[in-house]
Amino acid sequence: MKISEVAAMAGVSPAAVSRYFNGGYLSKEKKEKIEQVIAETGYSPSSSAQSLRTKKNFIIGVIVPKISSESISKMVNGITKALEGSKYSLILANTDNIYEKEVDYLNIFKTGNVDGVILTATILTSAHYKAMKKIGKPLVVLSQYADSFPCVYNDDFHGAYYAVCHLIDRGCRKIAYIGVTKKDKSAGQNRYDGYIKALTDNGITLDPVIMKEGTFNLGSGTARMREILESGNRIEGVFCATDNLAVGAMRAIKELGLSVPEDIKIIGVGNTQMSEIVTPALSTVKLYYETAGEEACKLLLDLLSGEKTFKQLRLGYKITERESTKKSD
């Protein structure tokens, strides 16, 4: 039995059947039609012949900065979801936020048995781009915009912009900023730029004294918030580049005898589980991390199936208001 016969029986194209057996992405409807024909006929291509013909190992390499991060785990969930029904499995490389290790893994996967790579980078340096250009196999960048490479990323700029506008709409004018390194274009530079643009568009004077840079952990948010408050600056709102920073900042506000949202309103980014259970519940920018992982994997599967489509997909966001920015009665 030939692929063309399977295609005719399923009412799909031979290319769709080929993509099914080679791990490419298909709609649920087409996949079910092909699976029904396979079940009825018992058709199965020779795995050894298929491997020799395609020169594939049906493995993808996924490089992540911190698997314990909630956002990263959601992206990995999206990737594994997209792999369901395909022949591909994944190898996960965790770099502990050491960007040099990301470059090392790119070079390892270049010579390894993976067919393609999804790179979730902390930052994209010239060393990253050099390794990416030399990898010689399909590659998709996840969570960062990558010039000249297929990528799936969040709209961090506008998410931050409208988060700050949300604080302004709630009556805040003196709004502090707690962010992360601007070497991280997404969480650092783009969210910082969104904060600056929102203040400028609303005629609010920038004050560098209440703009602090930290790391991604909760303790950093606490420390930076203490620095702002203990400097004597009277603030009304805080925009934090991550929910972790925001929860840490809330702790410092409470420890210094102030209240959220009565004295200071605060909003973060990420819509983490912590943002829902902390008291008061944290207003946040919801980003679609699992969807991002799923779309990045679908894009890679398309490239692995031979499609030449070049995509750079930017996902949306949603301002989720909770108690931390509620207007006072």
The predicted model gives 59-73 an average pLDDT of 93
pLDDT tier at 38, thresholds 50, 70, 90: confident
Residue 35 has pLDDT above 80, yes or no: yes
pLDDT value, residue 19: 76
- Give residue 13's pLDDT: 87
Q: How many CA atoms lie within 13 A of 55 on its CB side?
A: 2
pLDDT of 63 reads: 97
pLDDT for the residue 52: 43
Q: Tokens in use for 66?
A: 């911190």
The two tokens of residue 150 are 């297929």
- Asked whether residue 27 carries a pLDDT value surpassing 50, the answer given is yes
pLDDT interval class at 32 (50, 70, 90): confident
Residue 53 predicted with pLDDT over 60: no
Q: What's the first-to-final CA gap in the chain, in angstroms?
A: 73
The yes-or-no verdict on residue 39 having pLDDT over 60 is yes
Q: What is the pLDDT of residues 73-126, one digit of tens each?
A: 999 999 999 999 888 999 999 999 898 999 999 999 998 889 999 999 889 999
* pLDDT for the residue numbered 100: 93
Distance CA 65, CA 56 (A): 27
Give per-residue pLDDT as tens, 157-169: 999 999 999 999 9
Mean of the per-residue pLDDT values for the chain?
A: 91
pTM to 2 decimal places = 0.81
Token pair of 328 as six digits: 């006072």
Q: Residues 56-68: what's their mean pLDDT?
A: 92
**Angle made by CA atoms 189, 294, 301, in degrees to the nearest 5:** 110
The per-residue pLDDT for 73 is 95
The residue ranking higher by pLDDT, 193 or 37, is 193
pLDDT for the residue 329: 61
Confidence of residue 48 (pLDDT cuts 50, 70, 90): very low
DSSP string, 242-310: SHHHHHHHHHHHHHTT--TTTT-EEEEES--HHHHHSSSPPEEEEE-HHHHHHHHHHHHHHHHTT----
Considering only 36-45, 73-82, 215-224, 255-264, which range has the smallest mean pLDDT?
Answer: 36-45
Task: Give the pLDDT score at 45.
Answer: 65
Between residues 53 and 181, which one has the greater pLDDT? 181
**How far is C-alpha 258 from the geometric centre of its chain's CA atoms?**
34
- Which H helix or E strand runs over 172? none
For residue range 226-265, list pLDDT tens digits in order: 999 998 889 999 999 999 999 999 999 999 999 999 999 9
Does the structure show a pLDDT above 50 at 49?
no
